[in-house]
Chains A and B, each alone.
Chain A
Amino acid sequence: MAKNPIIRLEDIHKVYTLGLTQVHALRGITLTIERGEYVAIMGPSGSGKSTLMNIMGCLDVPTKGRYFLNGHDVSQLNDDALARIRNKEIGFVFQTFNLLPRATALHNVELPLIYNGLPGSRRRGKARLALEKVGLGDRMHHKPNELSGGQRQRVAIARALVNDPSIILADEPTGNLDSKTGEEIMEILDHLHAQGNTIILVTHEDFIARHAHKIIYLRDGKIEDIEEMSRSVEEKP
C-alpha cells in the first residue's frame, strides 16, 4: 500500500506573519495519499484546509517540513520550478471557476498546454478531447459568460484534466452551484476517479465529502481525524 504514495507530507508547518502577529496555520501535518485515491479534506473555516490545499497544489511552500510529490521533494522549490510542477502535475478546480473571461472554452482548456509549449494542432486535439470528456464537445467556442455555472465548472475540470496531472485538486467545486448542478459536477469527479485519477477535494459540506473514500478532518492546523469509508457510500446511515 505505502510503496508508491503520490503525496507524502512530513510534519508540515505553515506560519504567516501578519504585521506583528504570527498565524500558525498548519501545525505539523503528516499525511500520505496514494495514487488513485479519492480524498476529501474537511474542517471549519480557519482550520487550515485552504493552506494545506495551497501547499499540496504547489501554490505555496511550507515554513517547515517536507513535501514529496511523486517522490520528489518540492517543499523548497522556487517560483518557476513550482510553476512547472503545477503545470505538469496538478489540475485545479476552483469554487469560482477561474476561467479567462475573454477566452473561449477551448482556449481556456488549452492554457496549461500553451505554457507547456505544446504545438498548436496537438494542443487543440488534447483540449477538444478533454472538453468532450466533460460533455462540452458542442460548447467549445463559447466564452464563459455564454455558459451556465455548471458548464463553466466543467470547462475548469477539462482544463484541470488536459495535461494528465498526477492529482486533481478541487477547492469547494460545488460552492457556487445549486445542488442539482453540484451533484452533476460531483458525478464527473466520481467518474474521473473511476478512470484512475487521484482526486483531492476540499469542502465543508458533508454530503459532498461523502463522495470521497477518505475524509481528513482538520482543526486548528492539525489532523483531527481520518475517516476511511467503505466502497458502498450509499449504504452508510
Chain B
Amino acid sequence: MVFWARVMEYLRFAWDALLANKIRAFLTTLGILIGVAAIIFIFTLIQAINRYVEGEFANLGSTTVYVSKFPWVITGNYFELRNRPPITIREYRALERYATYPRWMTPVFESMRTIEYRSKTLESVYVVGCNAQYTETHNTETELGRWFTASEVRSARPVCIIGQSVKEELFGKENPIGKRIKINGLPYKVIGVLEKKGSFFGFNMDNQTIIPYTTFRGYTFNRRSITIALKVENPDDLEPMKDEIRGILRQVRKLSPRESDNFAINQQDMLTDFYRKLTGTSFLVVIIIATISLVVGGIGIMNIMLVSVTERTREIGIRKAVGATRRQIMFHFITESLAISLVGGVLGVMVGVLAAQVPLSYMHLESGVTVGTVLIGFFFAAAVGFISGLYPAYKAARLNPIDALRYE
C-alpha cells in the first residue's frame, strides 16, 4: 500500500510530463519506435515464413532423398556442376536393380507443357513423369479418381492426374474423370485429380499434371537431367541408403576413387539448414539496425530527460523540501523516461506488425503476432528507457534543494 501510494505519484509525474510535451515526447521516442518496429517487423515476418516453410519442407519428407545433377544448395563452383553428366533413366534402372535399402523409388521427369481440352488451352503447365510410387515418395494423394498403377506405367498407358488449377481452368464444374485432354498434342485420359497443394514460394503447385514417365516424350534418350526420388520406410535406413546409392552411382558412372561425385544426393534438411542460415543472416542485419536505432533513440531520450530535469528543477526543489528522498526523485524521472520509451514501444509494435502485413499478404502468408513478439518489443523499449533515464534521474536526485528552490 505504502509502495503503491508512491507509484501512483511516479505515474502522475510521468503523465504530466507527457501531456505537457506531447510532440516533444513523440519526436524523442521516434528512434525507439523505429527500432522496435524493425524488431517486430522481422520477428513477425520470420515467424510467419518459418511456420510456412517448415510445413512445406515437411512435405518433402525426412526419409526421402532426391538424386539430381545439382545440389539444392550450391556452394561450390557452378561451372564444375554444369559440366556434370545429366541424371538419366539409366541411373534409375541401375538403382532399381541394385539398391536394397529404398522401399519406394521413382524417376521424376519435369517439363512445362501446353494442355488442351476441347477449345481451351492452358500454357505452361508443370508436367511430371513418374511411376506409381510417386504417391509415397512425394506424400501426395488424389482427391478424386485414382492414381495410375504399376502396370499402366509399364505398358505406357496415356493416363494423367491433374492438379486443382488445371481442373478449374479446363473443366470448371464439370467432372474431369474419364475426359480426354491433349498434352503437347498427345491424347491422355484423366483418371484422377490431385489434392489441393497451394503455392510453394510463389509457385502454384496446383498448376501441374502427372503422367506415367513411360509416356513422357523421349524419356529414354532425354538429355535433360531428371531427379530420382528414393524413400526408406525406417528413418534408420536413410544413411545406409545414401551410402548404397552413392556406391551404385559411382560404379555406374565409372568414377575412379580419386574423382569426386558428379551427382548430388539431396535431402530436406539441406533446405532447412540453408533456410536457417538465410534467415539467421537477415535476422542479424535487422538486429544490428534495430540496435543502432535503439541506441540513437536512447541518446535522444537521455538528452530530453536532461532538459526535463532542468525544466523541473524548481519542482524537484519543492518535492525535496516536502520530503522526497533521492531515490524517490530518481524514480520520478526513471518513470518519465520509461513512459516516453514505452509510448515508442507500443507504437513501434503496432507499426512493425502492420508493416509486416505488406510482404506477408504479398506472399499469401498468414501473420502470427505472438505475445512473445509483443513482449520483446516492450522489453527493448523499456530497457532503453530505463538505461537512458538513469543518468538524468541521478542528476535530478543529487540537486541541492536550496539551489533548486531558488531556480528560476
Q: Give A residues with C-beta under 8 Å from B.
A: 54, 57, 59-60, 79-80, 83-84, 86-88, 92, 94, 98-100, 102-103, 107, 111-112, 114-120, 123, 159, 163
Contact = CB atoms under 8 A, between A and B. Distances in A.
A115 B321 CA distance: 11
Contacts of B324: 83, 87, 115
A59 B326 contact: no
Contacts of B327: 80
A116 B324 CA distance: 8
Contacts of A115: 6, 9, 319, 322-325, 328
Nearest to B320: A83
B371 interface: no
Contact of A80 (B9, B20, B325): B325
B158 interface: no
A119 B318 contact: no
A123 B5 CA distance: 9
A86 B323 contact: yes
26 contacts: A80-B325, A80-B327, A83-B320, A83-B323, A84-B323, A84-B325, A86-B321, A86-B322, A87-B323, A92-B322, A98-B405, A100-B318, A112-B323, A114-B8, A115-B9, A115-B323, A115-B324, A117-B3, A117-B6, A118-B2, A119-B2, A119-B4, A120-B5, A120-B8, A159-B322, A163-B323
Contact of B321 (A88, A92, A120): A92
Nearest to A92: B321
A159 B326 CA distance: 21
Chain B at the A interface: mostly helix, strand, loop or mixed? helix
Contacts of A86: 320-323
B323 A99 contact: no
A117 B326 contact: no
A114 B325 contact: no
B20 A102 contact: yes
Determine which residue in B20, B321, B322 has the highest number of CB atoms from chain A within 10 A of its CB, and name it.
B322
Interface residues of B, number: 28
B321 A119 contact: no
B402 interface: yes
A228 B402 CA distance: 30
B401 interface: yes
Nearest to B4: A119
Nearest to A57: B321
A130 B319 CA distance: 18
Given A98-B318, A119-B4, 5 more contacts: A59-B401, A115-B6, A116-B323, A119-B5, A123-B5
A59 B402 contact: yes
Nearest to A117: B2
Interface in B1-46: 1-6, 8-9, 12, 16, 20
B129 interface: no
Contacts of A119: 1-2, 4-5
B322 A111 contact: yes
Contacts of B5: 114, 117-120, 123
Contacts of A80: 325-327
Nearest to A107: B12
B12 to A, nearest CB: 8
A110 to B, nearest CB: 9
A100 B402 CA distance: 16
Contacts of A103: 16
B353 to A, nearest CB: 34
User: What 10 A-B pairs are tightest by C-beta distance, nearest first?
Assistant: A87-B323, A117-B2, A112-B322, A80-B325, A119-B1, A115-B323, A83-B325, A114-B9, A98-B318, A115-B324
